[in-house]
Amino acid sequence: MPTLPFFFEDNWCDVIGKASRGLNCSLARLTQLSNLSLKDIEQLFNGVLDKKNLGILAPFLSLHAEALLALAENTPPVPCLLPKQMAQFTTSFHGMQVHSYLLWSEENKTAIAFDTGADLTSLFNKLTANQLTLRTLFLTHGHRDHVEKLSKLLTQTGAEAWIAEADWISGTKPLPKHFSCQLDSCIQIKAHSTPGHSPGGTTYVIQGLPVPVAIVGDAIFARSVGGIPPAAYSKGLQAIEENILSLSPETILCPGHGPLTTVEEERKLNPFFAK
């Protein structure tokens, strides 16, 4: 594997791996399509970077060559700052970093959590420090690292938890289609269906803050996507295009793993979506 420090959840080698698995495209098939030797392709999939070969291979995985090469350069993402009524919590789940988020209203001091992560200490500290009442938990999907502390959070706060029906887990209510709600007189949350990484994957779009924000779970990462099984791959990518990358360019994307990013950055630099 490459030895450079990584700024992103996935490096270029992870991206070609996810694309080949999603497309169900073997290395032998890629050899036929690209005219690269099997050895050259195996080297790329083992993380040995050859920029020329990577550029040749990219289109056969429906990846944007320049965006993939830019990822291989490992240039850091443009820093994003969340609005002051939001917080990000990063916790460790079996050695893997996972993000959860909190949104609150200064008007009525109520809060909404997005996913639980693997530890609630920072969330509870934030609620106490800002004298907030947590009323609602929205889950982006049902994978364990995102819902690990569900029962503890519900027991300790009395909040209601919602998740899309296809990802339903005990203790939650099924999210109605086209769900939206107001946190206060300004802030609105709207659920967008983004299945693929998981069948009930949901993105929560927050309007009414100084800048729009979308809590995307593992649908999309900065410069990559959450792994999508072959049967859901093309529709999964389409759902991201239609329900996340169609948002206004300045929208901040808050993924479950890796750095924050924006719609504008991912339209330009995500190898799965750049044109």
Give 55 or 229: the residue with its C-beta nearer to Fe ion. Answer: 229
Q: What's the min distance (Å) between Cβ of 144 and Fe ion?
A: 9
Residues 160-199, mask of contacts with Fe ion (x by CB under 5 A) = ----------------------------------------
Give 212 or 258: the residue with its C-beta nearer to Fe ion. Answer: 258
Interface with Fe ion (CB under 5 A), residue from 18, 64, 99, 143: 143
- DSSP SS3 for 99: strand
SS3 per residue for 231-246: HHHHHHHHHHHHHCCC
Tell me the number of residues near Fe ion by CB under 5 A: 2
Sign of CA dihedral 26, 72, 233, 148: positive
Residue 99 interacts with Fe ion (CB under 5 A): yes or no: no
Residues constituting the chain: 275
Give 72 or 253: the residue with its C-beta nearer to Fe ion. Answer: 253
Cβ atoms 85, 115 nearer than 8 A:
no
Q: What's the min distance (Å) between Cβ of 209 and Fe ion?
A: 25
- Please give the Cα distance from 57 to 55 (Å, whole number): 6
Interface with Fe ion (CB under 5 A), residue from 14, 218, 265, 266: 218
Give 143 or 149: the residue with its C-beta nearer to Fe ion. Answer: 143
Q: What's the min distance (Å) between Cβ of 240 and Fe ion?
A: 14
Q: What's the min distance (Å) between Cβ of 129 and Fe ion?
A: 29
Near Fe ion by CB under 5 A, which window of 21-29, 169-177, 218-226, 265-273? 218-226
Alpha-helical segments (H) within the chain:
12-23, 27-34, 38-45, 51-57, 65-73, 121-129, 144-147, 150-157, 233-243, 263-269
Near Fe ion by CB under 5 A, which window of 77-85, 135-143, 206-214, 257-265? 135-143
Give 218 or 266: the residue with its C-beta nearer to Fe ion. Answer: 218
Q: What's the min distance (Å) between Cβ of 74 and Fe ion?
A: 24
Which of the residues 244 through 263 are near Fe ion (CB under 5 A)?
Answer: none
Q: What's the min distance (Å) between Cβ of 148 and Fe ion?
A: 12
Q: What's the min distance (Å) between Cβ of 140 and Fe ion?
A: 8
By C-alpha distance, which of 125, 7, 16, 131 is closest to 64? 16
Cβ atoms 215, 114 nearer than 8 A:
yes
For the purposes of burial, counting CB atoms within 10 Å of the CB of 46, is it exposed (0-12), middle (13-18) or buried (19 or more)? exposed
Distances (CA, A) of 10 to 13, 16, 91: 8, 10, 18
Binding interface with Fe ion (CB under 5 A): 143, 218
